[in-house]
Amino acid sequence: MTALSARLPARRDRYTILPLTYLVAIVILGVTIVPLLFVFVDGFRTTGDISNSPTGLPHPWVWANYGSILTTAPFWEFLGNSALIATVATVLAVAFGSMAAFALSRYVFRCREALFTLFVSGLLFPIGVAALPLYLLLERVGLLDNQFGVALPEAAFALPMTMFILRPFMRAIPGELEDAAMVDGAGKLRFFVQILLPLAKPAMVTVTLLSFVTSWNQYLLPLLVFTTSSHFTLPLGVATYQSQYSQNTGAILAFTALAAVPALGVFMFAERYLVAGAAGAVKG
Amino acid sequence: MARSTTADATVRKKIELTILLAPALVLFVGFVLLPIVIAAYYSLFNWTGYGPLSDFVGMRNYTFAFGDPVFVQAIEHTLILTVLALVVQGPLSLGIALLLNRKFRGRGFLRLIIFAPYVLPPAVTAVMWSLMLYPGGFVDQLLKSVGLGGLIQEWLANLHIVLYTNFVVLTWQYIGFGIVLLLAGLQGIPVELKEAAAIDGATPWQVTRRVTIPLLAPTIRIWVFITVIGSLQVFDVVWILTGGGPANASTTMATYMFLDGFRSLEFGYGTAIAVILFAFCFVFSLVYQRFALRRDTAGALTRAVG
Amino acid sequence: MRSRRACAAVALAVATATAVAACSSGSSSSSSTSTSTGASSSSSPSASTAAKVTLTWWNNATAQPLLGVWQSVIKSFEATHPNITIQNVPIQNEQFTTKIPLALQSGSPPDIYQQWGGGQEATQVTSGKLTNLTSSVSSWIGELGSAAAGWQVKGQQYGVPFDLHVVGFWYRKDLFATAGITSPPTTIAQLESDDAKLKAKGIAPIAIGSKDRWPDAFYWEYFAVRECPSATIKTAMTSVSLTPACFTKASADLTAFLKTNPFQAAFLGTPAQQGAGSSAGLVANGKAAMELQGDWDPSVMAGVTTNKKLSSELGWFPFPAVTGAQGDATAVLGGGDGMSCTTGAAEPACAEFLQYLDSTPVQEQLIKVASPGLPANPAAVSAISLPAEQTAAAADKAASYVATYFDTAMPTQPGQNLDNAVANFFAGQGSSTAIISSVTGPA
């Protein structure tokens, strides 16, 4: 808060919440949370229970579903694979993507717009189209049944979105800051790393989150690349689990709920940075 | 002195550009562009995926597609979903983001909850909603309990409704993404501007309307772009919820591509559909970039960057 | 402006260069220079008693008990063939149909993999990667009877079945009793009147998983089998054409049958096998009385219910006769699961393994423990324990012939078109003639 706002009357000083806002918040909460609760709570039920009363509470409470998943190795294997792949894909996508976005936003050069359009065109088709040629390509370079065979294409497909979001944010950082850095003797690259990136934090966090979640939920690519089940990621694992436990709906939902936890954890962690934000980027 | 500095600067700029752009370019060309171009090449053939590419048919896959009433219907459905996404999810995301940008107790928790559906794999979302939408399931029971029993339909079986059922589920799944994006944009708006407006006597609502939303425009434009592209390509949820059915009542271009292309072992036809889908997206992208994305606040407040 | 056009040209050049690079490096890679990714090894020409051999085996047994059966079968085979190692790679059924075309396209497909014969197998044969097993299996294939023909392509054996399936009505004897139905219907007219009796008691007569589309096809195909003589059916499958008038009659039969509204509410959105709300689940949980399904249905049902009494409550009756039809009233619709060897697999090791799968002891073990359906080897039929399944097996034996489900008998593309057209018809879209015309001539 600046000294200026400290002198304002209290009424205008804080954004007071209207009761209407709270009401809306509750409705939204309800609509969003109910299906989520279903997934979570139904993990404690047997299939027969679920079929008898689709919307009731567990009766009896079955701890075995969650218990058996958490205590058997495959779940943690799948978790580890998903985490590794998502991390690698996200780091690559965000690192390379932010570098490229910087180049495309704060340098002036010929073919800049054409290049940006080329990258953005990567957004314009679903990854499934590229599946067959990608598979053959991966086979040729020997990346099949290999985590990098999934992480690298995922990073590549995440680049367009990353750059598309980052470029406008980077562009909006005022040129005066760059001038000031130049005067201080810092080169453009130093400006990028030490000043621009921290300022673009909300956008960086957003693209990190998006890349991570997209990679985490990716199903088709791991399906094509992996044959050894110990390499499977969580979504593949859910599908395998689903068939191994026939149609034990409760167990599948438990597995799914657990599979979503890490991604939610990443979000919670990132959320703090979203809140911190770049308010006050321009100070007198 | 000035001349050598300029020459140095140019060389330095080229080196910097290369360092910055090369990794992304290599990754992108190798794993995205190359496979896509190859796939587009397949679209000129009639190919089951087995054996060599031998049956060259030129543009026949494309002409067949546009002559297929099911595909035309799929295009219609896709466009309907896209327009609905803009018109319904837009104001909703914006309103919720504005709400969540204020400080109040439980804000962090609420943000987490709203984002959570986006984190769920679409397969699970679809399964969950199927359970809730069965006749006599949760949705029906809820409607009955608030006296709206007359509104009950066969959500997943009624040919006229099934597309809109998909839309509701899609909104539930993807709205969190839009909200997070808009929140990021809101964080970038300098507090000083809002305070200045408040000093000038604006009410919080006026501050929102006259200051916040216009400054949020670049982010909103990004959101529109991503939403349109995403809606044009929508597949996962629709496929698992209704499979594009019943009787093609909820097909999208992507489900059509999968069902009539890849599932039927018509890879040439399937990739032709993908190319058509790409063309839709590309045209939109070009037009949008030209008219909408060029403007942003840089230059209005500060030195333009270029 | 000039620079922009130049840039567009540059971008285009990049794309074109990429394209040229891509195409020149071989568009369809049946190249043999690919690196091995843990797949098959050398193919020794001499007898299998010589060098060490590893075979990768792709099957869809990701779940118990079949998973355990295969594992024990592998163990016992390896015990008698010490130089052969079999690597079991179970892949979920839905994923199978995605991965197989890719694998057959690549340089290292699995050595042994599961497939369902018919026109689908014929399509796979065009990849050039399937081994012609005719001579290797000639000594024992006769034991399997006419079923083996389903895995032949142009008279050559490219695969071997290990279990068979037959489609019929699975029904709840207790629910029939409640509705006052004393014995299963033998004609369509009787079926329709039984449906009315069940409806009067508030029981959904027939459950169907229309969302998945293929269950719908069973109905039309059975009407076709009832209306058309076997020769007509056979010709139709090989020539991929449904022009004979009896097929139009089948559509008319279906139309009349659908008018009686025999299915559960909102059947268009019901899946066939997933969860308690599936058609299998509805019968298993007593919410519907019948389902026209393959003989895998009991094991599917077992997975979606806690009803322990199901096996005693379940019965089976064949698809009823159509009064006045020209086709065969005892013919059944069916299929099966089989295995194929790919050309990279070591022979005769692969063929020996397939023979082992069809040997009587293994077949009996398969049926006893996993009950995936009917055994391919008729000698093992006595191992079936579920009474309803025994009824099905008897009908299969007594059938004048077994018609393979049309979407498997025909190549994939027309097969899928047929399924889609029938499903649309069930939803009230598309005319009955659309079903006939959905199947175009060979591509």
Calculate the CA A136 to chain-centre distance. Answer: 28
Q: What pLDDT does C288 receive?
A: 94
CATH 3.40.190.10 fits C53-165+335-389, yes or no: yes
CB-CB neighbors (< 8 A) of C98 in chain A: 223-224
Q: What is the pLDDT of residues C262-306, one digit of tens each?
A: 999 889 989 888 777 889 989 998 999 999 999 989 888 887 777
CB-based contacts of C136, cutoff 8 Å, min separation 6 = C347, C348, C351
Q: What pLDDT does B218 receive?
A: 82
CB-CB neighbors (< 8 A) of A268 in chain B: 108, 112
Å between B133 CA and nearest CA of chain C: 10
Mutation target for A interface from B78, B107, B124, B262: give the one with most A CBs within 10 A: B124
Q: What pLDDT does A5 receive?
A: 41
C87 — contact with chain A (CB < 8 Å)? no
Å between C287 CA and nearest CA of chain A: 10
Pairwise CA distance, residues B239 & B260, whole Å? 13
Pairwise CA distance, residues C310 & C317, whole Å? 16
C24 — contact with chain A (CB < 8 Å)? no
- The pLDDT-based confidence of B99 (bands split at 50, 70, 90) is confident
Å between C124 CA and nearest CA of chain A: 16
Mean pLDDT score of chain B, rounded to an integer?
83
- Residues of chain A above pLDDT 70, percent: 82
| Residues paired with residue C333 on neighbouring β-strands, in sequence order | C167, C403
Mean pLDDT throughout A43-50?
75
Q: What pLDDT does C25 receive?
A: 46
The answer for C 6-25 residues in CB contact with B (under 8 A) is 14-15, 18-19, 21-23
C273 — contact with chain A (CB < 8 Å)? yes
Exposed/middle/buried for B41, CB within 10 Å: 0-12, 13-18, 19+?
Answer: middle
- The pLDDT-based confidence of C354 (bands split at 50, 70, 90) is very high
Mean pLDDT throughout C397-401?
87
Neighbours of B91 (CB within 10 A): 10
Å between B291 CA and nearest CA of chain A: 14
The partner residue sitting opposite A139, judged by closest CB among C22, C62, C106, is C106
Q: What is the DSSP letter of C29?
A: -
ipTM above 0.85, yes or no: no
Is the pLDDT at A245 greater than 70, yes or no? no
Is the pLDDT at B22 greater than 70, yes or no? yes
Is the pLDDT at A10 greater than 70, yes or no? no
Is the pLDDT at A11 greater than 60, yes or no? no
Å between A113 CA and nearest CA of chain B: 10
CB-CB neighbors (< 8 A) of B252 in chain A: none
Mean pLDDT throughout B150-177?
89
Q: What is the DSSP letter of C210?
A: G
- Residues of chain B above pLDDT 90, percent: 23
The dihedral formed by the CA atoms of C268, C269, C271 and C272, expressed in degrees to the nearest 10: -20
CB-CB neighbors (< 8 A) of A223 in chain C: 95, 98-99
Mean pLDDT throughout A263-274?
74
CB-CB neighbors (< 8 A) of A120 in chain B: 285, 289
How, if at all, do strands C204-207 and C288-294 pair?
A: parallel
More confident residue, A21 or C12: A21
Mean pLDDT throughout A38-43?
81
Q: What pLDDT does C263 receive?
A: 96
Domains of chain A, each with CATH number or no CATH = 73-276 (1.10.3720.10)
Q: What pLDDT does C21 receive?
A: 57
CB-CB neighbors (< 8 A) of C21 in chain B: 34
Give the torsion sign (CA, B91, B92, B94, B95). positive
Is the pLDDT at B297 greater than 60, yes or no? no
Pick from A214, A256, A263, A258: which is nearest to A239 by CA?
A256
Q: For residues B251 and B244, is the Cβ–Cβ distance under 8 A?
A: yes
The answer for A 115-154 residues in CB contact with C (under 8 A) is 115, 117-118, 131-133, 135-136, 139-140, 142, 144-145
Q: Do B159 and C269 touch (CB under 8 A)?
A: no
Is the pLDDT at B287 greater than 80, yes or no? yes
Instruction: Judge whether C53-165+335-389 and C168-333+404-437 match in fold.
Output: yes
Q: What is the pLDDT of residues B56-92, one digit of tens each?
A: 888 999 999 999 999 999 999 999 999 999 999 998 8
Q: Could you give the 3-state DSSP secondary structure of residue B257?
A: helix
Chains contacting C with at least 3 CB pairs below 8 Å? A, B
Å between B34 CA and nearest CA of chain C: 6
Is the pLDDT at A4 greater than 50, yes or no? no
- In this structure, of A14-23, A100-109, B172-181, C125-134, the range with the lowest mean pLDDT score is A14-23
Residue of B nearest to C430 (CA): B247
Per the listing, tokens 């340089």 go with C107
Is the pLDDT at C192 greater than 60, yes or no? yes
More confident residue, C370 or C34: C370
Q: What pLDDT does A128 receive?
A: 76
Mean pLDDT throughout B242-266?
86
Mean pLDDT throughout A27-51?
79
Q: What is the DSSP letter of B306?
A: -
- The pLDDT-based confidence of C59 (bands split at 50, 70, 90) is very high
Q: Do C212 and B51 touch (CB under 8 A)?
A: no
- In this structure, of A161-175, B191-205, C305-319, the range with the lowest mean pLDDT score is B191-205
A50 — contact with chain C (CB < 8 Å)? yes
Is the pLDDT at C171 greater than 80, yes or no? yes
C432 — contact with chain B (CB < 8 Å)? no
Q: Do C14 and A118 touch (CB under 8 A)?
A: yes
The partner residue sitting opposite C29, judged by closest CB among A140, A145, A247, is A140
Is the pLDDT at C7 greater than 80, yes or no? no
B27 — contact with chain A (CB < 8 Å)? yes
CATH architecture of B68-291: Orthogonal Bundle (1.10)
| Domain residue extents for chain B | 68-291
- Residues of chain B above pLDDT 70, percent: 94
**The one-letter amino acid at C243:** T
Mutation target for C interface from B55, B265, B271: give the one with most C CBs within 10 A: B265
Is the pLDDT at B301 greater than 50, yes or no? no
B59 — contact with chain A (CB < 8 Å)? no
Is the pLDDT at C238 greater than 90, yes or no? no
- In this structure, of A218-232, C34-48, C245-259, C411-425, the range with the lowest mean pLDDT score is C34-48
Mutation target for B interface from A36, A129, A144, A173: give the one with most B CBs within 10 A: A129
Mean pLDDT throughout C212-240?
92
Q: What pLDDT does C181 receive?
A: 93
Q: What pLDDT does C9 receive?
A: 57
| Domain residue extents for chain C | 53-165+335-389, 168-333+404-437
Is the pLDDT at C43 greater than 60, yes or no? no
Mean pLDDT score of chain A, rounded to an integer?
79
Pairwise CA distance, residues A266 & A216, whole Å? 11
Is the pLDDT at A8 greater than 80, yes or no? no
Name the CATH superfamily, with its identifier, for domain C168-333+404-437: Periplasmic binding protein-like II (3.40.190.10)
pTM of the full predicted structure? 0.82
Mean pLDDT throughout C379-405?
90
Å between A71 CA and nearest CA of chain B: 22
C36 — contact with chain A (CB < 8 Å)? no
